[in-house]
Amino acid sequence: MRRSFEWQGHWFPQGRRVLLDLYATNHHPQLWPEPEQFRPERFIGWRGDSFSLIPQGGGDHFTGHRCPGEWLTIELMKQAVSNLTCAMSYRVPPQDLALDLARMPTQLPSGFVIDGVRRAE
């Protein structure tokens, strides 16, 4: 912190380092009921909010430090999902899909393994 301040009963002294917990915010049950459930429909009609879904930082891209690569990342993810669901067929062999959240960045021990990859007909 560049200067001391109090926020919601918490005291932040000058010089204290603070890490924004992206994972906990994105899984906070008050913001996201049943956060572990894959429910893409929860975003139907969602108007966006700079402080609740923050995989690439919170706040405003233009006045803060929110990731400027966010729009590019979203476009790449849309293309990847389209490829994985429409453009190809493949198998997902048995593998350890548990993520080690103590790792940064986290990833599957073996990566995500697919085989039998074919172009969709």
Which positions lie near ligand HEM, rule CB under 6 A?
Answer: 22, 55-57, 65-69, 72-73
The 10 Å Cβ neighbour count of residue 34 is 9
* Min dist. Cβ of residue 7 to ligand HEM (A): 16
* Closer by beta carbon to ligand HEM, 27 or else 91: 27
Nearest position to ligand HEM, beta carbon: 69
The answer for residues whose C-beta is within 8 angstroms of residue 55's C-beta and 6 or more apart is 22, 26
* Closer by beta carbon to ligand HEM, 40 or else 105: 105
* Min dist. Cβ of residue 77 to ligand HEM (A): 8
Phi and psi at residue 5, to the nearest 5°: -160, 165
Asked if the peptide bond before residue 105 counts as cis, ω within 30 degrees of 0, the response is yes
